[in-house]
Structure 1
């Protein structure tokens, strides 16, 4: 049996700070009267909606599934006082801004993979927020500090190589469901069937 990394999602208790992983991608926080904030997260598949809702429930954060006018699915929280500090960290002059001290552990990376992770050939792509390109360099630096140097590819960060893919898979843990398996990080893009 492989030893878990100290920073892996499975070695640590889920906590609200893990939501930083959702802000690395398309997650948005909106403040209300400087007393509370709400997370809104558009998603490209229903399995992601279910998985993110369960992951946030593990962190004590209830969500509501949403559907946009364009038919896109997602999740949204209520306005919550405990999300205000995260909103303040990730906002500068009313715009989304990645904090300079951003640190990504297994829990944050797991949420990022749930919301925006996918295979790109034999590399793994973590989606970024197309509406917030100013966050890309800081997020990429934080990913590198987590032992996962990546290259920018369009609106995503591409992780390549067996060692890096193994590290990512170790940090995020096992897929939450069968629906997630084909999208989940593994040692290589060639995944064995169970």
Structure 2
């Protein structure tokens, strides 16, 4: 049995601001007047259900649907509660990481659930990035460094950019923050482990 870290996602109360973890990854935000909607396309229905559960824990209703490309999609309604988050994560109509942002445990967990992938035998974990927002990639790498998890930017020339975390100490630090795998995900193939 693993010990619960004082800084892990399980030790923090859920909040609407947890959804910034989706925006750090491939999530999208659409603003309409004084409301905003957040959505993210994921690679499996299991992952979509796990993301929707985290969003609901934060007090926001979430729907699992299909994207135009027939991929699993999780989205919120357009809500006033999401507008401040949208304002922080956009400049005009373009997604941009807020200056000085450091991912705390719950947003980092949401990012890992929505867009994390295991590489190799589990000795590396990649947090997926938004291929449509390449200007955010270096800033997000710096944000993880400020959180004590130094990543390597990978896949920038392909369609799957991400921040790769490798090494025992970094993987332990990541796991201390994001906690145990959600029930819907396979802990061996979809969640970091050391």
Report the TM-score when normalising by structure 1: 0.91
User: Partners in 1 of 2:8 and 2:148 — Cα distance?
Assistant: 12
Residue 139 (structure 1) aligns with:
140
Residue 158 (structure 2) aligns with:
none
Residue 192 (structure 2) aligns with:
185
SS at match of 1:40: strand
- Please state if 1:7 is matched with 2:7: yes
Unaligned stretches of 5+ residues in structure 1: 188-194
Residue 158 (structure 1) aligns with:
164
Q: CA deviation at 1:178?
A: 5.3
SS at match of 2:135: helix
Residue 97 (structure 1) aligns with:
96
SS at match of 1:179: coil
Deviates more, 1:146-155 or 1:117-126: 117-126
SS at match of 1:39: strand
Equivalent pair of 1:47/1:180 in contact (CA under 8 Å): no
Equivalent pair of 1:103/1:142 in contact (CA under 8 Å): yes
User: Partners in 2 of 1:48 and 1:30 — Cα distance?
Assistant: 22
Equivalent pair of 2:124/2:192 in contact (CA under 8 Å): no
Query: What are the residue-to-residue correspondences of 1:98-113 with 2, within 5 Å?
Result: 98-113=97-112
User: Partners in 2 of 1:109 and 1:128 — Cα distance?
Assistant: 13
- Please state if 1:20 is matched with 2:26: no
The number of equivalent residue pairs is: 186
Deviation track 1:14-60 (CA, whole Å, cap 9, x = no partner) reads 11111111111110111111x11000111111111110111111111
Residue 42 (structure 2) aligns with:
43
Unaligned stretches of 5+ residues in structure 2: 156-160
SS at match of 1:180: coil
User: Partners in 2 of 1:116 and 1:43 — Cα distance?
Assistant: 7
SS at match of 1:133: coil
Equivalent pair of 2:50/2:184 in contact (CA under 8 Å): no
Equivalent pair of 2:124/2:164 in contact (CA under 8 Å): yes
Higher helix share: 1
Residue 170 (structure 1) aligns with:
176
Report the TM-score when normalising by structure 2: 0.91
Deviation track 1:77-125 (CA, whole Å, cap 9, x = no partner) reads 1111010011001111211111112121110111011001111113111
- Note the aligned Cα RMSD (angstroms): 1.4
